[in-house]
Structure 1
């Protein structure tokens, strides 16, 4: 019995932390794309149920701690995108299309590889641009509602230092307490506390599909599914990607009419179910992910209360709590964006365009940031090899060399531009490029395994040239140079 208690408790912690640290972001995202309070509450409930059922199915089927969550970066994307053309029904259509794309990624393996092949600076910069506005909310909250915001931030900072796992949930409790103390009398009585299911018929508009569905799919894959697989691999588990994508994609499609935006692998909370704290026996940690799914369904029953809490609070306060929860994600995204020096300019362009929040042709900034950064990256990668080639190409074609040729192993030592048709600059010839065994006192005999390495200069003298810079025009066999210029 004791062996069962530990993973069950770990699963409960996983569900509570995952729900409490991100439900405000989900509600803010659903409201941002046009959902009414009832529709947002329905979306939160549908997301909890979908996440719980998928976690139970995959955990029992594969006996692996496959933790499932909704797409928290995807919810932040909804906040940054705003109401699409067509309103809430168009947003529901985009959610459904996102689920179909996830299913397609599971059926068509190259699609998943293409998503994984998105350059890390571009993906990180797009995610950072999406998260920036929410992460600025704590600063705005201090300016607008300091009496409520300052205690929340102080509690979060202290727990982030001493008990990081509970920093956001306890900060949320402090925010809820402040809301309860300042809410008007009878405020909760005007809001339904029971979970509701509000179904919406999806509509499909090109603008919503491009500005919402495609970025939501990319963010979900790059920021949730790929890192989620990496977390499991870090604990020694090889989860089957195809069943995971198919199951989460189908769950997203089924939950979309009720308002669920995206279901995927857990990335951050996955470590709670897959780590040693879940169980000292790695073969029993799947119980933690299954129990997390069950507790997530129970937490979904409180979607009405959670929605009421959001409605009664100043909007900036809930956004501040969401921003505190996303600071670590923002730091990771920015780190990935600038880690590679060759992609920093493209990453900055992606970040700036995405963070601007502007839209063109009804398409949100996240899509345009991805396009702008990718185009600049391709332009820079096309330009740099050409400039490098013009700076290092000799007037004479280079002869093939082997891996053991010293001239081939140190190409920077050769300065082809210093070799003139009528003279040789001794300083341009590096000692390592000369084969000493091939030099005799009176003449140069090229090694039998190498092509002829001498050419007559215009002044009648000859010089030894490295194999990487010699001409493909062979010297007549009868010509023997009288002397060699030695470096």
Structure 2
């Protein structure tokens, strides 16, 4: 396995894995910090939480990437963690840990039993593609939001990317990354004063509350299933037909013991997963799994330092990572939009899913991606039912003739 990994190694896949790693720690981790502050958690518990998420993401990504040669990036649900900002303020931390234990056990059961595969079979792929496009659109739009806020950083990165697309398309993102890092080194304040320390994991005994299981656990379960569906669909759109049983079951199994240390569960990444599954990672689909391996090893290396690593990533210009990731995902956005609108009979429902997802609306703690999918399903059902009602008299009339 080691020799094959060395043969398949490439700079572009390594860069994609590193971008995925930095994007995860420079964005979603800060939401973890906000949630921990809302729950008034100690630094030890916060450090343990980040360690557990990092370890789970590393194990999941490394196992699936090496076992199936598929670029799987382990991650945690950003909307799910955002939901905890209110959940940790409402429920005791031990009740939240109890939710995690039940949630991860259910995920493992749903995955290994094959139930998730049956659920996926009833989800229209054009709506899932529209939902993905809606999520990616928001991410790609941040390029120009960052351009407005940080023109001195974003303009050179975009210029190098554009030149790279013209001369060396395969390494356009890599050159853009090097340009951004060079600018960050010149413009960012000194990194001195940041002290790294090894994490000392703290185990929390779970307690179980019906209110917490329903009010927090159920929305987390729905969000998790949506995240799995999104991640698997992204891999399928890239030509990888990884068994949902393996993905969902492994995710739940890995997450069960880590739930006692604050992990709400890990899953295949959606946005950065799309980056590593695209041709920008490597033209050969069989060699893109290297990005998953690089990111997984990075998780292991960074996660052992726990919360102290947040200080390092917070020093990077906030517009840099958003710009790099957005540029790398433009191609995936195009393919997702094309897939969602390919069937003219379902374009309107796909458009509704896309628009609702882009809107960023949130009700009952559930994010716009889930509501977009539900809106598309409801629209499809209503229109199909109306068509069946209108078609019935015509069929009857033909029978009389």
What TM-score do you get using the length of structure 2 for normalisation? 0.73
Task: Sort the Cα spacing of 1:211 and 1:245 in 2 relative to 1 into closer, same or farther, 3 A.
Answer: closer
Q: How far apart are the structure 1 equivalents of 2:334 and 2:370?
A: 21
- Asked which structure has the greater CA Rg, the reply is 1
Whose helix fraction is larger, Structure 1's or Structure 2's?
2
Unpaired stretches in structure 2, ≥5 consecutive residues = 38-42
Deviation track 1:455-476 (CA, whole Å, cap 9, x = no partner) reads: xxxxxxxxxxxxxx4xxxxxxx
User: Of the candidates 392, 395, 398, which is equivalent to residue 393 of structure 1?
Assistant: 395
Unpaired stretches in structure 1, ≥5 consecutive residues = 279-284, 399-468, 470-487
Match of 2:8, SS? helix
Question: Do residues 86 (structure 1) and 93 (structure 2) align?
Answer: no
| Shift of residue 67, structure 1, vs aligned partner | 4.4
| Shift of residue 195, structure 1, vs aligned partner | 5.9
Q: How far apart are the structure 2 equivalents of 1:151 and 1:96?
A: 47
Q: How far apart are the structure 1 equivalents of 2:286 and 2:114?
A: 34
| Contact 2:274/2:332 (<8 A) preserved | no
**Partner residue, 2:222:** 214
**Partner residue, 1:323:** 326
Which sits farther off after the overlay, 349-358 or 168-177?
168-177
Q: How far apart are the structure 1 equivalents of 2:298 and 2:25?
A: 17
**Partner residue, 1:28:** 27
Q: How far apart are the structure 1 equivalents of 2:57 and 2:73?
A: 6
**Partner residue, 1:296:** 296
Q: How far apart are the structure 1 equivalents of 2:275 and 2:321?
A: 21
| Contact 2:64/2:72 (<8 A) preserved | no
Q: How far apart are the structure 1 equivalents of 2:367 and 2:98?
A: 16
**Partner residue, 2:230:** 223
After TM superposition, list the pairs within 5 Å mapping 1:49-198 onto structure 2. Answer: 49-54=55-60, 57=63, 64-71=68-75, 74-75=77-78, 77=79, 83-86=85-88, 99-185=104-190, 188-193=191-196, 196=199
**Partner residue, 1:371:** 374
| Shift of residue 153, structure 1, vs aligned partner | 1.7
Q: How far apart are the structure 2 equivalents of 1:264 and 1:145?
A: 31
**Partner residue, 1:19:** 18
Match of 2:135, SS? helix
Q: How far apart are the structure 2 equivalents of 1:44 and 1:65?
A: 27
RMSD: 4.3
| Contact 2:223/2:370 (<8 A) preserved | yes
Which sits farther off after the overlay, 340-349 or 371-380?
340-349
What TM-score do you get using the length of structure 1 for normalisation? 0.62
Residue correspondences, number: 376
| Shift of residue 209, structure 1, vs aligned partner | 4.0
Task: Sort the Cα spacing of 1:232 and 1:388 in 2 relative to 1 into closer, same or farther, 3 A.
Answer: closer
Q: How far apart are the structure 2 equivalents of 1:159 and 1:93?
A: 50
Q: How far apart are the structure 2 equivalents of 1:168 and 1:43?
A: 31
**Higher RCO, 1 vs 2 (CA within 8 Å, ≥6 residues apart):** 2
Deviation track 1:24-52 (CA, whole Å, cap 9, x = no partner) reads: 14541232353569788866665554454
